[in-house]
Amino acid sequence: MTGHTLALAQQLLGFDTINPPGDEAACMAFFAGWLETQGFDVTLSGFGEKRVNLIAKMPGSQPGKPLAFTGHLDTVPLGNQTWQHDPFGSDVTAEKLYGRGASDMKAAVAAFAVACVTHQTAIRAGKGVVMIITGGEETGCDGAKALIDEGMLPPVGALIVGEPTANYPVIGHKGALWLRCETRGKTAHGAMPELGVNAIYLATEALGKIQHFEPGASHPLMKKPTLNVGRIHGGLNINSVPDHTEFDVDIRTAPNLQHATIRQNLTTALGDNVTISTLVDLPAVLSAQDNSWISNVYRRCQSLHAATLEAKIMPYFTDASLLLPALNHPPCIILGPGEPGMAHQTDEYCLLSRLAEAEYLYGELIVDWQEH
């Protein structure tokens, strides 16, 4: 690994981009300046106060669509546990780079940015590269939505998503359907509950039904869809009958399932006392394993893994859910140096060995694309 990748990763980690509340502006401005000094054409685009996306292009001189990389610079909160290492990137041991976003996924952004700079002669003599760097990914791909709505996405031939996979090529991930379920009752004095309708009781009945709800059939690769109730809120004070309760449902799906059908089936199962609205609707992603470019990515990755590589998916979602349809469904691989198990964890880290592998691997894929 070149020292440039580690240095850039630490610089990106040094910015507090925790989402919520979300503030990528300073980090994006720094990264834009760095990219411009390296010869990229850079466009910054805001999608709210201190919310920023970035598109960087290094055009080639040959016909054909460029290779694209995508990553996000927002991170999840630090959590309630005490960190033993600086969450903003200053701690490096002989083996690990620590920081919020080290695995998910600022180290990957640094690795593919430096790989592009290293191989810019091949890029400019070939078909070029594009980097799509978003904000707001962690809360439902808000930045990607804004780029699509603004019509800013350039045509691309293939997409590499730098999410944490320990440098294992991953051909897809589950979809995410987040629903808000609400019950409404009638308030009354807590000493006279018979005069009211308790919305918490209505929600409790609905939650009992949800425990037995099946979102849909299993998928050969992604297996059974999952459902989790992650948040509930009801009532204003102890001595009143609550007239409103809401709870949020997280359903993870596969390509064989239609989100509209899942929502309708859940609406029917819960009955008239529950109103359902959609918070996040992100389809599953799955690329064809026999695609020639995907096959070449597997070939390049195989030397990093002892066992024969197999088709693999991830349970988390990525910006690819929205980017791929908007880009007319190019082949896509999820491939990054971060450890999947370290995403969102206290004392999050990226192994330096993985970071070095990723920089080299991205470089090989860049050159292969230009010569393809």
* Cβ 40 vs Cβ 57: under 8 Å: yes
Helix, strand, or coil here: 9? Answer: helix
User: What contacts 163, CB < 8 A, 6 or more positions away?
Assistant: 71, 104, 105, 108, 314, 316, 318, 334, 336, 338
89 Ramachandran zone, left/alpha/beta (phi>0; psi -120 to 50): left
pLDDT value, residue 251: 98
**20: cis peptide before it, omega within 30°?**
yes
Q: What is the mean pLDDT of each run of 10 residues along the chain (372 residues)?
A: 89 98 97 98 97 98 97 97 96 96 98 98 98 96 97 97 98 98 98 98 98 96 96 97 98 97 98 97 96 98 96 95 98 98 96 97 98 84
pTM of the model: 0.94
Helix, strand, or coil here: 125? Answer: helix
Q: Residue 353's closest CA among 88, 44, 93, 144?
A: 93
pLDDT value, residue 3: 86
d(CA 49, CA 372): 41
d(CA 9, CA 111): 8
Q: Which residues are catalytic?
A: 74, 137
Q: Residue 284's closest CA among 312, 327, 314?
A: 314
pLDDT value, residue 1: 57
Helix, strand, or coil here: 286? Answer: strand
* Cβ 270 vs Cβ 206: under 8 Å: yes
> What domains are there in the chain, each with its CATH number?
3-173+284-371 (3.40.630.10), 176-282 (3.30.70.360)
- Give buried/exposed letters for 123-137 (b at 16+ CB in 10 A, else e): bbebbbbbbbbbbbb
- The number of beta carbons lying within 10 Å of the beta carbon of residue 97 is 28
* Cβ 97 vs Cβ 350: under 8 Å: yes
Report the first-to-last Cα separation within the chain, whole angstroms.
25
Half-sphere exposure of 284 (CA within 13 A, CB side): 24
